[in-house]
Structure 1
């Protein structure tokens, strides 16, 4: 009888999965203490400033100046989500006795690894052990996955909760007990509370799964379904109504309603696919969708809901989906799980071939995984942001404290606030025409490209105000008196 190299014992499967998970954690902790400029620094430093604010509220020896500054830094943030990861970091700072921003990488990486375990278990339930290991390897070692999953933002934690919710939904569909229903509701509620984007994935996943299990009419009569929905919605509803209030409506108007007509422009979808192509070959998306077509019924219902959720989320957040790569952070999970039926079909076919072809395929898969690890490590190793840190610390030291400062700097000035400990009003290009120098003592220009793009504004500053500090590629203008 032909030996099947893709059929493992339960013990071997678990050992391989744990090996994958440990390797996945290891690569994420590589270059651990480097500053978080590697992936969406604007979002990461926003989290860091919020964690600093919470941390300083716990300190009994914080000075009035420090408290005033962290209050200002906090006032510059617009957060719709509760500060879960930031609160965890603040408590950790308190325990270790200092701000160690890199600890966030450990937490985010652990969240991603936990999600990987439940992805593996879900894939095993709906496919073969070989397919489950394939999905786990894809989820862990895609280079984009490595970078995104160790970032200081709520998205890795949200991803963990979404995967746990998908697993809980699948097991609840298998055996619809109250215990499983409550667990599902709590997991989904935590996912949505961590970040509201999860509502698109979980809402559509539950809709398609419940219709598959009960049919449309019967689903309205099932008490457990209503209980699950209530548990999922209640936490975020309380947060939006009683904590955010009008801020939520303002954000929805800016982020989703305005320019909504863009979704009717074919260019929008090209930009969407171009953004995905930056970190994932678009052909894999289409192969994954084929995997949905050939998946077993229950998994198919779950996957259809998740993919529809991704699509609706992209249409609603039409600007972010084309510009912010972390809005695609669920794709390693979604594509990986969708590829399980495809992998199973390939493994089933190859198992009937002779040993040479089976071993050859196994070698190819191992090399693909090794390439992902090597690619991710090379990217992390090539990046050293100590010079960036030194720049922001230097700017913080050179900026005077005796007046109000306006700044033309990248990333909303979060790095200047974090490393330079400087209160500054960010001046964006759309504000150049209304800028009143009399309201400020100093103007910091680091983003010279933006400064140069408005010659009239630049000339009005250069011709009328002296340069206090000329750093070669940054300038501090003294606005307190004009050049005569």
Structure 2
């Protein structure tokens, strides 16, 4: 009787128990992400989220016929002005949902959270097969679902949560193909991997890294070259993105996408690697990723290690290719969450096996379960506390006031938060963004010769107003501050913003 109870606790004799545990984990992970659902999306990567919000609203307003004509025109114009970074998959999904619900910006959070959590299902199945351990699969999935950074980032209105979920599904299918050589899994890898690349082509490093690891380490290059399945997988992987890229280049919509991205000189700077480590540790935890690296070497050298090693090499290649963005865009590190969770499994498996050998009784195992639940609850509480720490609901009326002051159709340049996207979304006012000091610095790093006064004259030509809401940033640019205050009258001013009238300079 005692042995039966123990086996139930560790899910050996009752498969329905781990299925219930998995369902509860996924539901709890999704419910946590619904906290503070309607707060504006400024809690994480606001520039990127507002980019998608403006684009989705523009798509939606093409179908809206009962809005004021000026508002519909502004929404569509702003949406079209956002340009193309990657195929607007999330924006299309959200805008089409708006047609049923009306514009509810928080709908994007539901979709992103759902995609990420469903990715947890694939990760669980992958870990369970890789480690042959349901306990390890549960712990790895808990890491993926409840890491505080992952909770915050996976709610964001951007393609990355969907991309990560597709990466996990692709790696699951890849590992199944490695072990079975069935066409079904080959095709599913090509499908999921191809979609991941289409949603965001930067996923190529992780997906191709895993694929290369399996081809070179687990199956062997000679065997793979003769295997038609491997060729079909590779073809399906690149086909969607190749078609989209050719179309984008032919139409000119993707021009300049690689500008200001490649800075190999950063490879020689120790600060680059320290910043990388800090962001990786913020994403998944220093202990988790370091144990994950250890796990790579504990993994079976033929069956498990090639995949894990390929994923890590892909992640490293990603960072070395885009070093500047890897230290300034923390969401570039989202893929390390499933990679670390998966790599942690060999360590967890060794610990669990040792624990069960040393502790055959029921009580120690109950203590272990309680510790896992407590650790998960602590991580969930940290995530909730971060979500509760800020309320951005006052942003909308602030930008609405400025938009009304500017008239919604004026030619505006500004030094404002998120490159003018807050003004665009809530103020219904387009604007050109003046450089921040970071923008100026990255151009110097790229070797560009920038004359600030000349650039100011060029960018303000034809503009009616210069809006400033980032006073600290203005103080960092004394030349621009002096030009504005010495040459142009103030059109409107409060403690939170100042609008300069560029049409009536007080001096040449």
The normalised TM-score by structure 2 is: 0.90
Query: Deviations 1:321-372 (Å, cap 9, x if unpaired)?
Result: 1111110111221111111111111111111233343333222211100001
**How many angstroms apart in 2 are the aligned matches of 1:343 and 1:198?**
27
Task: Report if aligned partners of 2:408, 2:428 keep a CA contact under 8 Å in 1.
Answer: no
- Give CA deviations for 1:23-71 in whole Å, capped at 9, x if unaligned: 0010011111111001110000001011112112233456653354234
**Structure 1 match to 2:446:** none
| Equivalent pair of 2:178/2:219 in contact (CA under 8 Å) | no
The equivalent of 1:455 in structure 2 is 478
- The answer to whether the 8 A contact 2:58-2:79 is kept is yes
- The residue aligned with 1:376 is 383
- Displacement of 1:80: 2.7
Match of 2:495 among 464, 472, 481: 472
Residue 138 of structure 2 is aligned to residue 133 of structure 1: yes
* Residue range with higher mean Cα deviation, 17-26 or 294-303: 294-303
Q: Counterpart of 1:39 in 2: which secondary structure? A: coil
Which residue of structure 2 lines up, in the alignment, with residue 254 of structure 1? 260
Residues 145-170 of structure 1, C-alpha deviation per residue, up to 9 Å, x if partnerless? Answer: 10011110000100111000011111
Which residue of 1 is the match for residue 315 of structure 2? Answer: 310
Residue 120 of structure 1 pairs with residue 121 of structure 2: no
Q: Aligned to 1:181, what secondary structure does the other structure show?
A: helix
Q: Are residues 1:360 and 2:360 paired?
A: no
The aligned runs of 1:340-351 (5 Å cut-off) are: 340-351=345-356
2:411 is the counterpart of 1:407: no
Q: Judging changes above 3 Å, is the alpha-carbon distance between structure 1 residues 398 and 125 closer, same or farther for their aligned structure 2 residues?
A: same
Bigger mean CA offset, 469-478 vs 223-232:
469-478
RMSD: 1.9
Equivalents in 2 of 1:254, 1:460: separation in Å?
28
Which residue is equivalent to 1:103? 107
Q: More displaced, 54-63 or 461-470?
A: 54-63
Rounded to whole Å, the distance in 2 between the matches of 1:187 and 1:402 is 43
TM-score (norm 1): 0.94
Q: How big is the shift at 1:401? A: 4.5
Runs of 4+ in 1 over 6 A off after TM superposition: none
Secondary structure of the 1:443 match is strand
Cα distance, 1:15 vs. partner? 0.6
Distance of aligned partners of 1:137 and 1:482 in 2 relative to their CA distance in 1, 3 Å threshold: same
Contact 2:57–2:76 (8 Å) recurs in 1 = no
C-alpha displacement of 1:438: 5.1
Change (3 A) 1:279 1:219: closer
Question: What residue in structure 1 maps to residue 289 of structure 2?
Answer: 285
Q: Which of residues 256, 267, 273 in structure 2 aligns to 1:269?
A: 273
**Counterpart residue number, 1:34:** 39
Q: Does 1:163 align with 2:163?
A: no
- CA distance, structure 2, for counterparts of residue 403 and residue 110 of structure 1: 40
The 8 Å contact of residues 466 and 482 in structure 1, kept in 2 or not, is answered as yes
Alpha-carbon distance between aligned partners in 1 of 2:279 and 2:83, rounded to the nearest angstrom? 25
Deviates more, 1:11-20 or 1:208-217: 208-217
Deviation at 1:223, TM superposition (A): 0.8
Contact 2:463 2:503 in 1 (8 A): yes
Q: Judging changes above 3 Å, is the alpha-carbon distance between structure 1 residues 425 and 93 closer, same or farther for their aligned structure 2 residues?
A: same
The runs of 5 or more residues in structure 1 that have no matched partner are: none
Tell me how far apart the structure 2 counterparts of residues 110 and 143 of structure 1 sit (CA, whole Å).
16
The DSSP-based 3-state class of the residue aligned with 1:301 is helix
> How many residue pairs were aligned?
481
Equivalent pair of 1:406/1:444 in contact (CA under 8 Å): yes
Distance 1:468 1:253 in 2: 36
Moved more, 228-237 or 458-467: 458-467
